[in-house]
Structure 1
């Protein structure tokens, strides 16, 4: 068993315990051992974080963009210098295999590299005046202090996705990492702070999510709220933000459809799909989940997909050769197991998996699961399963495939596999999602917007669009003489 770590809050440039000394224990989901404690931030801690953000907001907004850019680039270097340390903390608390953790840390650094450049590209514009004596300028200014809330499935990368654009735009930010997997996120924040950001510009507070969100968002200091989480929590935070009309962006999950046409290399697509599906034990908001396969190739696809799933190695993510780690928590495991049980009790067939391996492995493990013959009334077809399950569904026509793909209130990521350019174009226009991968599952990148429709959220992260949510336009109209004197 690893030595117990003690983490701290970052408030006004100081790493410290909670004012009242309260802590939360953090579990390793692979063996259920307690590996760390983090502070349970109280009212005094949150007030201090808000006061610091309010104090520094004007100075940070006025800091030259090139200075902010250099600080972000330094943060990226620091993160990569500490990649192995952060990755090992991530695997220990979140459960994903170590090679996935290393990749996540690298993508977090990429966010800071990208927004280091975007900080220098915050452009306004000049608009022609309505008369000779008028000049009109539109400036982009920081929106103000930000409260950001991140989940447990990608605790490093998703925090970076909020920290980097906020800091690039000139906004102080108070980050609340997930209590299930905080240490890697806090280690990344330490790397960022160590690159030279002024005290108070960045805060990191851990503790009770409801208490922290209520206190931060109800404050008039906070002018922007960013959440990656569930629809239930998104609705709650949206209501809180409405009190002071704070801007809000939400990424709330998905139920990714994959349309597999009859002209593909079936074995190749099935194997790629299975390897992608079980990344991070399926705990990925853009995870492909509903595989809609042309009936003529359906049986071969099921066979090839299930063969890969059966061959995956489960275990502690810190062990070499492990493909799939545990689910992050007992609650996540149990909620997921209930969805699978509901489907099989209604007649769905588990081609492979379909059972918990928690007892056998000693952690929150669930077998990689492939379901077919899923009845329409099964909850798993509408509720985001967020776990290691693939739903394999045949279709007869492409119109049927589009109808099934769009038969959900979610609309985050979707995927399409075909060798026909015309099909690819038409289907890409008709599938209702914020991101679509054509012959690729790589839809998440720092350089292009990450967004959804329907219950998948509001606003966009990543790309040029990502920084816009941390800025507001100011119009300046200046009257001038019409003639030189």
Structure 2
């Protein structure tokens, strides 16, 4: 069995390396396997070996892409909403046809379990389906004017060239959340994925060729900040930027966007609280909280980090959480039996190790995990970890840890739980488990977050607005709200 899996991984790595060579940069409607910035390796978080080398853009490549995007915008915005919708459906059809390839690439680059990658690819397909239909529903309105025989017409037009900057933790879903609404609105878009997961974006962009889009409607650039980010942000051609990334990067992007007055949408960090009230169904809470916390090795912006458990349930919750965490199987995400893969790179592994060690020095108890997984000769594996006796001021609790670490504390009253849950500057997601409708409504009303789950963690759907408040960002991806971020509103006064 192990030998068969190893042989399959070798075969997968060969395919990945070949794909990087065949694709590369997508500029002016064509793939370029070489770029002015040379080649850069892409490493597997499982083996720590290079999956292959990918072409890097230089400043000239980026300028070429922006010029092409400007031409592509003029052609694409001239298409009717129905033509745009048909194109997005064709893209979704092609992505569905290549779903196995897409999911395998996600797992190869991120290490996440294949089942999670398959769900992610399906979510990405659904973004194109949803926004294909939403393209047909960009409605204006007519307002009666005070001028005799006049009327106001409210119109919506695409903002222009957009740029998408995506993170590595969901390399397919994050690209889809930006590209699908941009194309539906009539914008062209330049995609700059994480250099740690470029192959997934390449497969997606290659699927977009099935949409028969105008040349320049979609471009893809991989490369360092100076060669890609800097010229994009300095360009007056780019009228909208969307980022999924850290709060620190988002703050810098907002400052840079001000120079050319770009529209921005930001999906930034999170530090989600989970409140388990004393009337919660404990088995239900444990049954969904454990797999949610350790999905993608905890590298999920909406995952619960801060666990507030009512004192009457605390010990039982910890016991149940620990026992379930210890049963999770770590390993190569391409192995169908694996439930948790590695962290994305060595720095992330060191950071998690350090934050757990600091918490232990400050008095926290390691109830499960707490160290690098010793059974692997390679890879960035950290054990599913549970910390108790944590205080609100510990870094593992006060800051987003972005790893497989559940920090658990107790509370005695509803007022206390809600007050402590709201102390973070972040405001992406929050969760509560209760069987009381009154408590549920109070939690929804008082928790400071862009998204609140009651007895559920299922917040990401193409038909629902995804995003946060405060230091977690602005704008929404998904739902009818997402396409609005790619539209300008125009008012016309018409008098006959």
User: If the length of structure 2 is used for normalisation, what is the TM-score?
Assistant: 0.95
Q: Offset of 1:375 from its aligned partner?
A: 2.8
Point out the more displaced range, 237-246 or 374-383. Answer: 374-383
Counterpart secondary structure, 2:427: coil
CA shift in 2, pair 1:129/1:219, >3 Å: same
**2:285 maps to 1:269:** yes
Give, in whole Å, the separation in 1 of the partners of 2:65 and 2:491: 31
Contact (CA 8 Å) 1:151, 1:158: kept in 2 or not? yes
Q: Secondary structure at the match of 2:227?
A: helix
| Structure 2 gaps, min length 5 | 1-9
Contact 2:88 2:132 in 1 (8 A): yes
Task: Please list the CA deviations of residues 246-300 of structure 1 after superposition, one character each: whole Å capped at 9, or x if unmatched.
Answer: 1000000211111111112213312321111101111111101111111001000
In the TM superposition, residue 358 of structure 1 has moved relative to its aligned partner by: 6.5
Partner of 1:185: 201
Paired residue secondary structure (1:162): helix
Is residue 2:33 matched to residue 1:17?
A: yes
Is 1:115–2:121 an aligned residue pair?
Answer: no
Contact kept? 2:37, 2:58, Cα under 8 Å: no
Give RMSD over aligned pairs.
1.2
Question: Normalised by the size of structure 1, how large is the TM-score?
Answer: 0.97
Q: How many residues align?
A: 480
- Following TM superposition, the consecutive aligned residue runs of length 4 or more in structure 1 with deviations greater than 6 angstroms are none
Gap regions ≥5 residues in structure 1: 481-485
| Contact 1:293–1:393 (Cα < 8 Å) also in 2 | yes
Seen in structure 2, the aligned counterparts of structure 1 residues 180 and 359 have a Cα distance that, compared at 3 Å, is farther
The counterpart of 2:434, out of the listed 411, 414, 418, is: 418
Q: CA deviation at 1:359?
A: 7.2
- What residue number does 1:453 align with? 469
Distance in 2 separating the partners of 1:443 and 1:179: 27
TM-aligned CA deviation for residue 436 of structure 1: 0.6
Is the CA contact (8 Å cut-off) linking 2:166 and 2:194 kept in structure 1?
A: yes
Q: Is the CA contact (8 Å cut-off) linking 1:19 and 1:44 kept in structure 2?
A: no
CA 1:210 to 1:401, structure 2 compared with 1: closer, same or farther past 3 Å? farther
CA contact (8 A) 1:369 1:390 kept: yes
- Out of 168, 185, 189, the position equivalent to 1:169 is 185
Alignment of 1:125-274 (within 5 A): 125-274=141-290
Paired residues of 2:370 and 2:383 also in contact (CA < 8 A): yes
Q: Give the deviation of 1:21 after TM superposition.
A: 5.9
1:361 CA displacement: 4.3
CA distance in 1, matches of 2:37, 2:358: 43
Question: For the Cα contact (< 8 Å) 2:168–2:196, is it kept in 1?
Answer: yes
| Aligned match of 1:470 | 486
Hey, what does 2:385 align to over in structure 1? 369
**Helix, strand or coil for the counterpart of 1:126?**
strand
Written as runs of structure 1 = structure 2, the 5 A alignment for 1:358-437 is 360-437=376-453
Partner of 1:62: 78
Q: Give the Cα–Cα distance (whole angstroms) in 1 for the partners of residues 348 and 374 of structure 2.
A: 12
User: 1:306 touches 1:352 (CA, 8 Å); kept in 2?
Assistant: yes
Name 1:483's counterpart in structure 2.
none
Residue 367 of structure 2, aligned match among 334, 344, 351: 351
Conserved 8 A contact 1:315-1:361: no
Aligned-residue offset at 1:181:
1.1
2:323 to 301, 304, 307: 307
- Contact kept, 8 Å, 2:371 with 2:382, in 1: the verdict is yes
Q: Deviations over 1:355-405 (max 9, x none)?
A: 012673410000000011013331122221011011111000011100111
Q: Which residue of 2 aligns with 1:102?
A: 118
CA distance in 2, matches of 1:358, 1:126: 67
2: CA distance, partners of 1:318 / 1:207: 27
**8 A Cα contact 2:366 2:385, kept in partner:** yes
Looking at structure 2, the residues matched to 210 and 234 of structure 1 have their Cα atoms a distance apart, in angstroms, of 17
1:9–1:204 CA contact under 8 A, matched in 2:
yes
Q: Paired residue for 2:49?
A: 33
| 2-structure distance, mates of 1:341, 1:387 | 14
Q: CA deviation at 1:20?
A: 2.6
Where 1:399 maps in the other structure, the secondary structure is helix
Distance in structure 2 (CA, Å) of the matches to 1:192 and 1:222 = 21
Contact 1:271–1:304 under 8 Å retained in 2: no
Secondary structure of the residue aligned to 1:123 is coil
**Relative to structure 2, which stretch is displaced further, 23-32 or 373-382?**
373-382
CA distance in 1, matches of 2:106, 2:374: 20
The question of whether the paired residues in 1 share the 8 Å contact of 2:305 and 2:397 is answered with no
- Cα distance in 1 for partners of 2:323, 2:227 equals 46
